[in-house]
Amino acid sequence: MSDKVFTTPKEALQGLAQDGMTVAVGGFGLCGIPEQLIIALRDSGVTNLTAVSNNAGVDDWGLGLLLQSRQIKRMVSSYVGENAEFERQFISGELELEFTPQGTLAERMRAGGSGIPGFYTRTGVGTIVAEGKPHMDFDGSTFVMERGIVADISLVKAWKADPSGNLVFRRTARNFNPLVAMCGQMTIAEVEEIVPLGALDPDQVHTPGIFVDRIVMTESEKRIEQRTVNNPS
């Protein structure tokens, strides 16, 4: 299994990054984002990307870096309120956006990773989210069909991994990352520590190694999206 371990984010992306691909990215705000893999993707120069992520980072970090470089053509996201460049590109028509309710987005990725092409949900019925999508009534209520998401590559951030790709996420970083890991045809995990095989308690593994194709250990900057301090005076 040691062939899953790569030395640098650039090497971990080697041969995978292509123009026009769909990339799913883990994280919530700046928590649990695969920051070094995002930088490596930016540096690869690929364009016309469809990015599937809960949000678009901030202007100078996370997926905001790919917006600055105009590499993202389309976003599938549930929240984009922290990124002024995202707003500018969307209003000017440079960027396509598919808004998806947060729970629906999570389920679409889980479904894609489970081989489920579509499912029905009540969320979004009667709103623009449901326009143009099939509807069906179940037990007297109307539901809208949502498609499962399968990404060409998935980028996730974990706390620990072993050489076979079993992942452990730390606290809030266990947000969209396990679902993103599931839905990628190729999944790359950026981790803080790689431990020997057998060192992880199987009951504590959040993502089994079957979902993970490549691993790279990096040093995280752990930026804070919005810093709030108590200033006694």
Please give the domain boundaries of the chain with CATH numbers for all domains.
18-117+150-217 (3.40.1080.10)
Please name the residue that has the structure tokens 């705000």. Answer: 29
Separation of alpha carbons 52 and 107, rounded Å: 13
Give 75-94 pLDDT, tens digit per residue: 999 988 778 888 899 999 99
Considering the entire predicted model, what is its pTM?
A: 0.92
Pair 123, 99: CB distance under 8 Å: no
Give 111-163 pLDDT, tens digit per residue: 999 999 999 999 999 999 999 999 999 999 999 999 999 999 999 999 999 99
Average pLDDT value for residue range 150-177: 96
Strands 135-138, 141-147: pairing is antiparallel
Closest among 23, 77, 30 to 50, alpha carbons compared: 23
Average pLDDT value for residue range 176-205: 96
Q: What is the pLDDT of residue 2?
A: 59
Which amino acid appears at position 166 of this protein? Answer: N
Mean pLDDT of the chain: 93
Separation of alpha carbons 9 and 23, rounded Å: 15
Backbone angles phi, psi at 154, to 5 degrees: -120, 140
